């Protein structure tokens, strides 16, 4: 929507002041063909020295015009000048569209860098793109209070976020989409997700987000849902230095008690396990544990009062002249913390008759620290050639303590004290070059190196049992009291080289080669506490929160407690994937109004996993394929404002590393057990899209899309039973499908007041293979909602030349969806519809200072999950929690 910095009008319109002596003219200057704003155009009142220069959004304002009317002369290099008569009191909108001057174009070379952060420029990119795309820029994200890329992607039509940050696009799960940073692939530190957690990218470092749900041959072919490209900021405008600071909190957390298990340092530090504890022989370890403190932390829980959350960002941008060439530098560093308390949450499991097996209520307390840094260096030479280097760093650390109490399937009244710390980190380096050779030839090259890590250092659990009026340690087996250490590291190298040849008026031919090499290392170690000889007297919560009074080094040394180490060969694996790809792509105009974007891509992929089976024997599983992926995208322009697009493509879905190797895998204690399948093969997808687009001069737009996807041999999660426990595995289903309709529009209701909305309606279906313990052999895709709705209304009036108010009310509706597949006669667990409403307002006081107030989740609805019991026809609630409303107050200062 409309930014708070320099957007001059909601519809880029004109306003005449009510002064009796003079009046004011406001407006916007755009290109008549592309509708893109013209930066630096001169607008002068004929016969006077009064005038203005259009800003970065093409906007201008001229005050104190005398008389009852005036004539404006509008000029811009390589465009035909235009004169416009404006009457005092005229309320009609003023949008000045200039036409290119072909004679001047032959004599003048204009080099400009587009500002792809504002809504109008991105709308032009969307309109002119060879393929159907949707995008959102940093200015629009700022107005709508979007703090990271995950929240921004949720505003795109047909996109939702499931639990654990999984992106669902058109009903297709995480495995069907891909993420790139500035066009180059980026690795994920999450072993269970293909996509990198998108909340790693704060909007302070992001220029725009572009989502393409159709395939183009110059991209890797492993997506059928969406290609999400995150564009990082670069220095394109004037020099700047800015500082922002915000304070906030959650109403259900601020001032309340927060609990946290004993930690060695702060979240700025990643705890680590002494390597010698992993390396020493088991007998040596057991003797060592009797005499030495192993971890430096206990199971004790501390309490403090929740203080306000704080965050800040420093940004810097500067341009340098180097022998007539331009060197640009941009840097941004941000840090923030969050606290989240959730009270009276609940979770239960059922058996086929609907009888409750496990029923627990819990309170949880989370502390999160986010750090992100961006550095961008660009060099322009030979008029248009450019080199750029980008460095991005992100670190998200979250520590969660949970106190839970309830009954297990054997009717034990249990109390659990759990602590989980999870740290994601990312380093990404990119080097790119773009070179032009005459008017027809250009060369693009790029390379990136990503290093990601997922650390779960020292997950801890201690369990207690209520027996009559007493509380005792729970000793059913040795896994009730334990510690877990898990480390996953992934590295990815990407290289890309492409050339482009332009011929005719608009035709072009592109060919390129791409290489990707990804490797992963995973290892985990568990430590189990044998408490059979320990029988302390436990006096309520005080001893539950402070068990070091009896569970301590002294108890270990005197033999009341012993620690065993579990570090089997199957608790580690290495994996990798190498892809060599080449493609040919052409944009051809057989008719002036018809663009044919057609290409084919060849990919040679070798994916492998080295693992150990349950008996400890090492194996290697490889999946080698050679494939061709054709793609065709047609765009027919009825006129300069209306497009009709048609797309067809074939793409691939590859199994993840842990899915293709048949070893029993558990990322962390308490998480699902997963066993891969050595017989898995690639799934292939056939995608058809039809889209109608209508773009208006004032920024209004409308689009409608119908799509159909046929999934051949899709990879689906199944459930089997092993010794009474549920084990997740994977099989290729015979086929599946996803189809739906998407609608989006943006409309200026009155001056400075805009409304935008998008809605997606979808139907998905998959036939599951035989052999699973699931109840329904045919169902909707897991995570797919039948409907999604986003809507927002924004009001952005200006007061004088600089002062501007921006206020936005943002709504999201996420329809019901399968959270987990029902097994053993039980129906699927479905998350119920979720309504979210946010309020964001900001005020730009002057060129240097701006203020912001944001309130998220005004409705404060609980998230509820229900499971159908086919034998009774009931839908029973199995989980409930509420995150709570939160607020944020911020100030930004620009030097």
pLDDT tens readout for residues 260-272:
999 888 899 888 8
The candidate with the shortest Cα–Cα distance to 105, out of 79, 86, 70, is 79
Rounded to the nearest integer, the mean pLDDT of the chain is 86
Helix ranges (H only) for 540-652 are 540-545, 553-557
Burial (CB count <10 Å: 0-12, 13-18, 19+), residue 784? buried
pLDDT over 70 (residue 105): no
pLDDT over 90 (residue 158): no
Position 239 scores a pLDDT of 84
Reading phi first (left if > 0) and then psi (alpha if -120 to 50, else beta), residue 765 is in beta
Mean pLDDT, residues 68-74: 88
Position 18 scores a pLDDT of 38
Share of the chain above pLDDT 70, in %: 92
The Cα-based distances of 253 to 256, 304, 347, 646, 883 in angstroms read 5, 12, 21, 50, 9
Position 836 scores a pLDDT of 92
Position 191 scores a pLDDT of 65
Which tens digits make up the pLDDT trace of 435-489?
999 889 999 999 999 999 999 999 999 999 999 889 999 988 777 899 999 999 9
Q: How far apart are CA 445 and CA 388, in angstroms?
A: 11
Position 483 scores a pLDDT of 93
Cβ atoms within 10 Å, residue 109: 9
Position 718 scores a pLDDT of 73
Q: How far apart are CA 359 and CA 347, in angstroms?
A: 6
Position 722 scores a pLDDT of 58
**Is the pLDDT higher at 163 or at 20?**
163
**Is the pLDDT higher at 717 or at 844?**
844
Which tens digits make up the pLDDT trace of 578-619?
999 999 999 999 999 999 999 999 999 999 999 988 888 899
pLDDT over 80 (residue 751): yes
Which tens digits make up the pLDDT trace of 718-729?
766 555 456 777
Rg (CA), the chain: 30
pLDDT over 70 (residue 500): yes
Identify whether the C-beta of residue 866 lies closer than 8 Å to the C-beta of residue 878: yes
Position 579 scores a pLDDT of 97
In this predicted structure, which of 55-69, 686-700, 767-781 has the lowest mean pLDDT? Answer: 767-781
Domains of the chain: 248-894 (2.40.170.20)
Position 251 scores a pLDDT of 93
Position 742 scores a pLDDT of 95
Cβ atoms within 10 Å, residue 532: 11
The Cα-based distances of 823 to 332, 350, 356, 867, 871 in angstroms read 49, 10, 15, 11, 13
Identify whether the C-beta of residue 253 lies closer than 8 Å to the C-beta of residue 884: yes
The candidate with the shortest Cα–Cα distance to 396, out of 123, 633, 200, 180, is 200
For residue 568, report the phi and psi dihedrals to the nearest 5 degrees.
-85, 160
pLDDT over 50 (residue 3): no
Mean pLDDT, residues 730-759: 90
Identify whether the C-beta of residue 40 lies closer than 8 Å to the C-beta of residue 78: no
> What DSSP assignment string belongs to 793-853?
EEE--EETTTEEEEEEEEEEEE--EEEE--BTT---EEEPPEEEEEEEEEEE-SSSEEEEE
In this predicted structure, which of 527-531, 676-680, 772-776 has the lowest mean pLDDT? Answer: 772-776
pLDDT over 70 (residue 9): no
> What DSSP assignment string belongs to 682-723?
-EEEEEEEEEEEEE-TTS-EEEEEEEEEEEES-EEEEEEEET
Which tens digits make up the pLDDT trace of 281-318?
999 998 999 989 999 899 999 999 999 999 999 999 99
Position 828 scores a pLDDT of 82
pLDDT over 70 (residue 130): yes
Q: How far apart are CA 379 and CA 195, in angstroms?
A: 31
Residue 116 pLDDT grade (very low, low, confident, very high; cuts 50, 70, 90):
low
Residue 492 pLDDT grade (very low, low, confident, very high; cuts 50, 70, 90):
very high
List the end-to-end C-alpha distance of the chain, in Å, as a whole number: 26
In this predicted structure, which of 34-43, 220-229, 424-433 has the lowest mean pLDDT? Answer: 34-43
Q: How far apart are CA 403 and CA 414, in angstroms?
A: 11
**CA-based max dimension of the chain:** 100
Residue 529: in which H helix or E strand, if any?
Answer: strand 507-530
Position 772 scores a pLDDT of 63
Beta strands 22-31; 95-98: pairing state: parallel
Q: To the nearest 10°, report the CA torsion of 344, 345, 346, 347.
A: -160
In this predicted structure, which of 76-90, 321-335, 494-508 has the lowest mean pLDDT? Answer: 76-90
């Amino acid at each position: 929507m409309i930014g708070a910095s320099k957007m001059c009008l909601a519809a880029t319109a004109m306003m005449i002041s009510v002064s009796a002596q003079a009046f004011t003219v406001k407006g916007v200057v755009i290109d008549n063909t592309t509708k893109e704003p013209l930066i630096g155009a001169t607008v002068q009142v004929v016969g006077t020295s009064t005038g203005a220069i259009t800003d970065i959004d093409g906007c201008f304002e001229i005050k104190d015009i005398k008389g009852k009317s005036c004539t404006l002369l509008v000029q811009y290099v390589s465009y035909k000048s235009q004169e416009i008569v404006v009457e005092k009191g005229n309320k009609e909108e003023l949008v000045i569209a200039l036409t290119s001057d072909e004679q001047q174009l032959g004599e003048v070379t204009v080099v400009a860098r587009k500002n792809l952060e504002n809504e109008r420029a991105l709308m032009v990119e969307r309109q002119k793109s060879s393929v159907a795309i949707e995008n959102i820029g940093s200015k629009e994200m700022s107005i709508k209070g979007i703090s990271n890329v995950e929240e921004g992607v949720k505003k795109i039509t047909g996109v939702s976020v499931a639990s654990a940050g999984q992106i669902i696009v058109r009903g297709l799960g995480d495995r069907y989409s891909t993420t790139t940073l500035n066009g180059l692939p980026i690795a994920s530190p999450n072993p269970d997700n293909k996509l990198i957690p998108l909340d790693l990218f704060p909007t302070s470092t992001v220029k725009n987000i572009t989502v393409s749900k159709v395939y183009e041959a110059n991209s890797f072919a492993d997506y059928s849902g969406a290609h999400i490209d995150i564009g990082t900021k670069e220095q394109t405008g004037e020099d700047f230095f800015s500082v922002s600071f915000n304070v906030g909190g959650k109403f259900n957390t601020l001032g309340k008690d927060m609990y946290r298990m004993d930690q060695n340092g702060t979240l700025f530090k990643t705890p680590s396990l002494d390597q010698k504890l992993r390396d020493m022989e088991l007998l040596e370890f057991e003797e060592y544990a009797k005499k030495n403190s192993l971890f430096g932390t206990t199971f004790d829980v501390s309490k403090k009062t929740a203080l306000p959350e704080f965050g800040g960002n420093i940004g810097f941008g500067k341009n340098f002249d180097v022998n007539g060439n331009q060197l640009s530098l941009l840097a941004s560093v941000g840090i923030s913390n969050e606290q989240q308390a959730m009270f009276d949450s609940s979770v239960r499991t059922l058996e086929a008759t609907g009888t409750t097996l496990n029923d627990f209520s819990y309170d949880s307390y989370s502390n999160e620290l986010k750090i992100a840094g961006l550095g961008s260096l660009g060099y322009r030479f030979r008029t248009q050639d450019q080199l750029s280097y980008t460095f991005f760093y992100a670190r998200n650390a979250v520590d969660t303590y949970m106190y839970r109490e309830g009954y297990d399937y054997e009717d034990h009244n249990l109390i659990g004290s759990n602590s989980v710390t999870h740290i994601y980190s990312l380093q990404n380096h990119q080097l790119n070059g773009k070179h032009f050779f005459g008017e027809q030839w250009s060369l693009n090259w790029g390379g990136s190196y990503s290093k990601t890590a997922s650390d779960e250092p020292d997950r801890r659990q201690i369990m207690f049992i209520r027996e009559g009026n007493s509380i005792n340690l729970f000793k059913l087996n040795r896994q009730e009291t334990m510690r877990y250490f898990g480390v996953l590291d992934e590295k990815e190298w990407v290289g890309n080289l492409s050339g482009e040849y332009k011929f005719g008026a608009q035709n072009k031919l592109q060919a390129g080669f791409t290489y990707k090499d990804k490797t992963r290392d995973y290892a985990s170690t568990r430590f189990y506490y044998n408490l059979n000889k320990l029988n302390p007297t436990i006096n309520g919560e005080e001893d539950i929160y402070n068990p070091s009074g009896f569970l301590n080094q002294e108890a270990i040394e005197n033999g009341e407690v012993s620690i065993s180490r579990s570090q089997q060969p199957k608790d580690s694996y290495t994996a990798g994937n190498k892809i060599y790809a080449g493609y040919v792509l052409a944009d051809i105009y057989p008719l002036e109004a018809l663009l044919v974007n057609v290409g084919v891509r060849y990919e040679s992929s070798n994916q492998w996993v080295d693992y150990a089976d349950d008996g400890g024997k090492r194996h290697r599983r490889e999946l080698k394929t050679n494939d061709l992926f054709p793609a065709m995208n047609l765009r027919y322009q009825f006129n300069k404002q209306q497009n009709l697009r048609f797309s067809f493509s074939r793409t691939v879905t590859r199994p993840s590393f842990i899915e293709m190797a048949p070893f029993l895998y558990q990322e962390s204690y308490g998480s699902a057990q997963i066993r891969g399948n050595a017989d898995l093969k690639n799934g292939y997808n056939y995608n058809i899209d039809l889209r109608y687009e209508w773009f208006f001069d004032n920024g209004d737009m409308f689009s409608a899309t119908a799509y159909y996807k046929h999934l051949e041999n899709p990879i689906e999660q199944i459930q089997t039973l092993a010794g009474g426990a549920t084990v997740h595995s994977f099989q290729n289903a015979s086929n599946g499908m996803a189809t739906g309709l998407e609608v989006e529009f943006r409309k200026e209701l009155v001056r400075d007041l805009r409304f935008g909305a998008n809605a997606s309606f979808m139907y998905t279906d998959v036939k599951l293979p035989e052999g699973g313990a699931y109840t329904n052999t045919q169902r909707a895709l897991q995570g797919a909602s039948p409907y999604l709705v986003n809507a927002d209304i924004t009001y952005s009036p200006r007061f004088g030349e600089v002062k501007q108010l921006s206020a936005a009310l943002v709504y999201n509706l996420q329809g019901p969806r399968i959270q987990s597949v029902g097994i053993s006669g039980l129906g699927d667990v479905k998350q119920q519809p979720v309504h979210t409403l946010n309020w964001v307002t900001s005020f730009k006081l002057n060129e240097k200072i701006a203020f912001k107030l944001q309130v998220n989740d005004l409705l404060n609805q609980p998230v509820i999950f229900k499971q159908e019991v086919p034998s009774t026809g009931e839908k029973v609630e199995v989980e409930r929690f509420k995150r709570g409303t939160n607020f944020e107050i911020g100030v930004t200062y620009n030097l």
